[in-house]
Structure 1
Amino acid sequence: MSLMSPARTSEDLRAHNRARLLRAVHDHGASLTRAQLTEQLGMARGTASVLVAELAEAKLVTENPTEQLGRGRPSQVPGPHPAGPIALTVALREDGWELAAAEVGGATTSLGDFEHDGVPQAIFTDIATELERCRDRYGSRLIGVGISVAGPVRQGRLVHVSEPTWQLLDVNRWLRPGDLPVHLANDATLAALAEARRGRLRGTDVALHLHVDFGVGGCLVHDGRPITGAHGIAGEFGHMRLTGGDEPCSCGATGCWGQQVGVMPLLRGYGVGGGYRDGRSRARQLLESAATGDARAREVLERNARALGSGIGGLVNAHDPRIVTLSGMGTALLTNAADSLRESYLAALMRYHRTQPPELVAADLGPRGPLLGAAELVYDAFLTPEGIEGFSRVTAAT
């Protein structure tokens, strides 16, 4: 709703301000005092007090006193209510999936880590079973499900996951979500969203996030929001010809950047097998071998890092970000082959960018990024006057 709407009633304004206040509590990790929230939102002290009381009555927040350092009453910090909203989040990887519950403010509780056999119907049926158990556990507290997937997502359907090869999967028919909203998005996009909201990219106007794992994905972030393209599938950087390769890729293209960067190129270059069950552990062993003097492992690692740096340079030339964050195997390459990575990065930059190249840094949230980003998707949909009012009606009836 627009603040300028002439049809706005006093109750509309009140609902709008409740949503603004709860949004601020969530965005700042439930760390701001009531006085700080009042100042940040430009509200009168009395108005904020009334709104906090209404949110507390609806079981959306509860207040906890800060540690008292001097005389006077301790400050009150609005935070998640023990009977408040819960977002379920699923991080679906090539070799397994994790389920977690996220509360207002972003804190998450892991509910289990599960293996899968790569068969999509079986995977999503298992996820549906766990979601049903969560319905029994949390009841009306559930506000939605956010699912991170290692592949492009369009209109709630998996467009393409290279390995395992999934095409145009409509997951809702397996999840059976009922009236619970399900938000499905790419893992690298969600990692970028999490970094923008709760990590290294918070407060940055234009940034590039890259997630290197079995493949390479990423996202351009503008003012805290991922740029996802016309169909929601932007950021498939691993399927661009950034380094002049000519190998065929399972996506259907040739010369994809992801054929030279990530877990699988590392293992292929070292001459060892490894699938999605043991690929990460074998890659970690290769990193350890390189660190302890294995020349062959070192060369494979350096080659991977040079390809990563060269591709990043091309993306910086295209997007002009202020900073580039790396997660997954990208962090390992930045740590263990920094010189090769940075040398090839700088060589790929336009002269203009070389004078002040965007910094390459490790992401703050690491492997938790996609899971935390999935929670943000759910709360973005919930933290509206309509979403809050719906939760208030339910809590009033229970």
Structure 2
Amino acid sequence: MRAVTGATTSGELRLHNLLRLLRAAHDRGGEATRSELTRDLGLARGTAAVLVADLAEARLAQERPAPQRTRGRPTAMLGPHPEGPLALAVDLREDAWTIATAEIGGGLTVREEQPHPGNPPEAVLGDLAAAIGRYLAELGPRIVGVGVALPGPIRDGRVVDIPHLSWRDVPAVEMLSVGAPPVSLGNDAALAGLAEARRGGLRGIPVGLHLHVDFDLGGALLVDGNPLQGARGTTGEFGHMPLGGSTLRCDCGAVGCWALQVGATALLRATGTPVEPGHARAGARRVLAQADEGEPRCVAALEEVARAFGAGTAALVNALDPGRVTLSGVGARIHDQATGMFATAYRDGLMTFRREQPPPVLPAALGADATVVGAAELAFDVFLTAAGLTAWQSAH
């Protein structure tokens, strides 16, 4: 019945199937053969052949020879077209940004990494808008959307709050929109989790927890590959839960935040180093490097933060019941350098019945690329719609 697809004409049905096929090729990383996609989508072979030809003619995707797995007839994989759509992905951190392009299937090319002063937001976002404008001019209509990851809660196209940088209610979409492609914002931790769910360590996990640690920490609970958004779209601020027993007041306004004990600023605080807003990440890397060399004060700080990190992670596991936990940012390095301390605190914090089969805690499979990959997925989610494909076909 056509009611299932919403298509009421043959043209709408064809567009629906083109979209299904392109989305499946993207989700499979450009590594699925036509026969695999035909089977998985329940298409007739003749229909699939026509759709693949249509995608190639529209420069949306094309087939390339697949590695020969068995003896027999050669096959091909459906992946990116050399003149096909690109997502522009931005990872805007407290002290720098990364700009990359991603093609259908998720293949990533880093184009630029630049430091920025952190404040005022108008200057930072103005410079970033200029950089985005350069890539729109260079790559033209191939850019189908811009996804931007930011280190704070996002609502209605605005940055709600980045306390330590004094960014509050910043109209980021308005400030970054410099051309026709839509600009989409996402929280950096949630987008790192989205990337892990689609292309990394949480792929195929029905309920996964991702924790992204930078100057402090946030994360996402992912159900069937999608981060839960919350009633107002600002869920995942795990760093602002009182999981560590602190009595200090956080920059966010709450007392006892877990972020006071875990993250780049926490590492610096534990060594007695003054925390300069916008520069905690660089300082934390130095602390971790010195801890790796055995410097006593830095080793003690690392162990203190790892203990709080493991205990708080256990609290979230007790409450949320994920099947797996992944870590990105500074969190992955804290875990790797103080695995024993983290593991002990994590296990001790779990309810007894959970200790029999505790959810594994693993570094992000995508490593440092997790957030920018998530930003690319955010842009492709806007493009891979009937409206997005129709706009592409009209422009090409």
Please state if 1:92 is matched with 2:92: yes
Query: Larger deviation: 351-360 or 162-171?
Result: 351-360
Deviation at 1:285, TM superposition (A): 2.8
Contiguous gaps of at least 5 residues in structure 2: none
Is the Cα–Cα contact under 8 Å of residues 173 and 185 in structure 2 kept in the other structure?
no
Deviation at 1:72, TM superposition (A): 5.6
Q: How many residue pairs get matched?
A: 395
Quote the residue 1:117 is aligned against.
117
The C-alpha deviation readout for 1:185-205, integer Å capped at 9, x for no partner, is 100000000000000000000
Partner of residue 306, structure 2: 305
**Residues 145-189 of structure 1: CA distance to partner in whole angstroms, max 9, x if unpaired?**
100001110111000012211000012332233432111010000
Other-structure match for 1:232: 233
The 1:113/1:269 distance shift into structure 2, 3 A limit, reads same
Alignment deviations for residues 353-373 of structure 1 (CA, whole Å, 9 cap, x no partner): 122211111111122111100
Q: Any residues of structure 2 matched to 1:299-338 within 5 Å, and which?
A: 299-338=300-339
Q: Report the Cα distance in structure 2 between the residues aligned to 1:164 and 1:278, rounded to whole angstroms.
A: 10
Deviation readout 1:352-396 (Å, 9 max, x if unpaired): 21222111111111221111001111111111222212211211x
- 2:201 aligns to what? 200
Secondary structure of 1:253's match?
Answer: coil
CA drift of 1:70 comes to 7.3
Corresponding position: 1:163 with 2:164: yes
Residues 216 and 266, structure 2, Cα contact 8 Å, conserved in 1: no
| TM-score (structure 2 length as normaliser) | 0.95
- Distance of 1:66 and 1:359 partners within structure 2: 34
Give the SS at the match of 1:11.
helix
Distance 1:289 1:126 in 2: 34
Asked if 1:12 is matched to 2:12, the reply is yes
Q: Which moved more, 1:327-336 or 1:199-208?
A: 327-336
Q: Does 1:153 align with 2:154?
A: yes
Percent identity over paired residues:
48
Runs of 4+ that moved beyond 6 A: none
Per-residue deviation, residues 97-122 of structure 1 (Å, max 9, x unmatched):
11111111111111211111112111
Q: Give distance in 1, aligned partners of 2:10 and 2:177.
A: 39
Equivalences for residues 274-313 of structure 1 within 5 A: 274-275=275-276, 278-313=279-314
Alpha-carbon deviations, 1:210-261, whole Å to 9, x = none?
0111111000000000012111110000011011111111101111000001
| Runs of 5+ consecutive residues of structure 1 not aligned to the other structure | none
Q: Mark the CA change 1:235 to 1:72 in structure 2 (over 3 Å): closer, same or farther.
A: same
- TM-score normalized by structure 1? 0.95
Cα 1:70/1:28, change in 2 over 3 Å: closer
Matched, 1:76 2:82: no
Give the AA of the match of 1:43: L
- C-alpha distance in structure 2 between counterparts of 1:132 and 1:198, whole Å: 28
Give distance in 2, aligned partners of 1:343 and 1:247. Answer: 25
Tell me the secondary structure at the aligned position of residue 163 of structure 1: helix
Superposition RMSD on alpha carbons, in Å?
Answer: 1.8
The alpha-carbon distance between structure 1 residues 75 and 168, as it changes in their structure 2 partners (threshold 3 A), is same
Q: How far does residue 51 in structure 1 lie from its aligned partner after superposition?
A: 0.2
**3-state SS in 1 of match to 2:164:** coil
Letter in 2 for 1:17: N
